[in-house]
Structure 1
Amino acid sequence: MATALTLSPLTACGGDASDSGDAKSLTMWTFKQSHVQALKNAAADFEKQTGIKVSVKAYGPDDAYTTKVQASAKTGDLPDVLEVHSDGEDFALGATGITRDIAKDVTADWSGLYQEGVQKSGVVTPARYKESEPSDSKTHGIKEGQRFSVPLTSGTFGIVMGNKKKLAEAGITEPPASYEEFLEDLKATTAKDPKNGGVSLGLKVKATGLTWSLQPLAFGELGKEKYQALWGKDASGNFASANGRKVLDLYARMQPYWMPGTQTLDIDAADQAFAQGKSAWDIGGTFTLAFLQQNGMNPEDVMAFGFPGPEKGAVPKPALAPLALTGLAATSTSKHPENAAKWMKFLAQPKTAARFAKDATEVPSTELGDDAAAAMGATLAAMTKAFAGAPENTYDPTVNDFRPPTYDQDSMAEILADLTPLKKKDAQTAGKDMAKLNDNFWASAEK
């Protein structure tokens, strides 16, 4: 889900809208309207403790936020703190000089507050630095070891949600224990309500089918090594192989159950359809629940679980690794960097993060331990149960080093969409085309 801004390199401008000469005030911008009240509530507590007032403003959607940040960087009226998309946008902003390196500020006692899997989010790792080296990279100019954000929210995708009322009408009261049971549940809800009993997914963004459904399904069926081999150079294990056809056949079994027209819907529209009762199921992520709530759906009316593995697969109960979704970045023009750091660290405190989770209906990046269920509510806590699993049984979407360096998921997803929901190709043909495209990626990488 991480994105990067398309920005030209900028030199940090002097002047700052947050600098009114008052060292006891800060400004923060976010692109998520659902975070505003939660951040304002945290700001009120922060002011009581420190005497520092934080003004929070939202600019959205994402494109409008990008435009606002770009324009303000040029005119010198950036806020002190920005909420950013983690591990993408943060690096792009750092590369242009809009945000500053906070590596020396984030000490072990601070980073240790976060969930283990996201503690290094925002850090320029060797792999991130390598990605930045090409001169046309959006993050060109960052240096290994720098840190341009700390995580605020975390989560994962590949989360299936069901409308409890619709499910109960079809006799379903528990999450499916396997992919086969999930298909049976889909069959039951569509039989009960042929028009509105299917599953929605924002397949206008075709990569959602690949990354949110096919990939966790393939991991569950094949296990880590054979799953990664689908993108390898060896034809005996790629998408055209027996293993490739097997997972594509499994995925194609969802064909009868897609919500009518789901291939024309973007992610938000698919989630809205679910909230409006036009589908019984929705595939998204932990971040979806807040959006459903914004659109009038009670979180307690949602059954949630990780995309299930096949009953006889190599990993029948796959876990889903959490990843940082949004983070906090300090602007280079802030006149109060120490106070900005205090605010960012305050948001990482367990008590603050627990309240933020409840107020925003989001999974915080802070490790909440046994208090997680009480803080987040039953449905969001149920989603986080998908995080629990041994490393070898955990599907981690951030691990991509087994794919060709020039890999493009969007073009791969185009082929997958021709299999389902478009039904233009069968599994064998789709597998051959995906393998051919993957071979081309490897060939171009070796030139």
Structure 2
Amino acid sequence: MTTSDEFGTKPINYLLRKQAIPSAIGILTLSIYGIVDTIFVGNYVGSVGIAAITVVIPITFLISSIGMGIGIGGSSIISRALGAGKPEKANKTFGNQLTLTFILGIFFSISCWLFIEPILMVFGAKGDILQPTIDYFTILLLGIPVLAFAMMSNSIFRAVGYPKVAMVVMIVPAIVNVILDPIFIAVLDWGIKGAAWATTFSYLFSASYAAYYFLKGSTGFKLSKTDFLLDFKLTGEIFSIGAVTIARQGVVSLLFLVLNNSLFKYGGENAIAVYGIINRMMMLVNVPAIGITQGSMPIIGYNYGAEYFKRVSLTLRNAIISATLLSSVIYAGILIFTPQIVSIFTDNTELIEKTVPALRITFLMTPLIAFQLISAAYFQALGKALPALLLTLTKQGFFLIPLLLFLPNFYQLNGIWIAFPIADLMTAIVCMSYLITHSKKIVLNPSAM
């Protein structure tokens, strides 16, 4: 596995570009797919279809976060193992990741199928939204286990120095979905079910590509049968680090539960559709920050394992600066062209008029999200689960959910939109303070971390 050796020798900015650009391209493509999917549903199914997708998104993310958590937890161990010259531990970790991903992915898919209606109702599928949401989610559940595998694989490819392969794993489902959406939704007139089948097939293609690349042996893993047997000490370490990602998605799902019910209470089905458009645009604005965050993790993990502590601090600093600057540029462009962007999703005049001001309010502090994403990922890469978990939960858990429960009592629907920039600002302050206080220790006294 010599490809990862350059993490400890090449210039940091070169490594960040090499790792972050493919990651950002992959995320950008996925974001564009999400936007295209919403456009087709909005124009051929209507606002009820957008609302149905918005209800399902957090549930799907929560289940797929199992793969993400296992992937990030294991890739942190793999990066540090490679940095410390322990390829056997890296092999064992990967084998355990594969076993865990499929067992848990299948278990949660079946569980959701058995209790589909009450789960969807809890997440805000009420009134006219309920039936199309059931139609959409029932089909989507078929692809969840392979989605979990694809998400897990994405982290592994970056950990062993193959960011371009990780990028393709993310691009493949987007391309497949963009091709199938117009066929299934518009040509065959399958409506919301067509959107679900397009997404499910896209998951299958993504997982197939990842499996093909692993089977080629290019990543350097040499697995024996015993590597697939669960080692409870190792799986405990995977989950202690990966739990940060799972907890983040869990809190995001809880956020959607609170948010969708509040939106329905204060604005009805249209308000949920408004946030569906806002959420898609948030994914686009956060592409640079997420790409750089993912790109920085294997660099930080490898150098920490190799005890190159100054390179760890330099990676952290450069990642935050780059992510904040790039996010700000995209954010400014979206604010300037908000009406034109929103009109792409729907020709419903009322929906456009409600979405434009809501989007501008919720986006006010979005560039600051880089501090939260990178600070949490930084401690994940070091294998420090507790600070990573606390920083991960700061925005949604400590600030946004309480604000969403409190502010609408006084400002109704506007209180929901105002909660977002307040939470972003408070989270940035907390994360910045924590990093300034603790990141110096890694150079001066690594054992104190």
What's the TM-score bracket when you normalise by the shorter of the two chains? Answer: under 0.3
More strand by share: 1
What TM-score do you get using the length of structure 2 for normalisation? 0.27
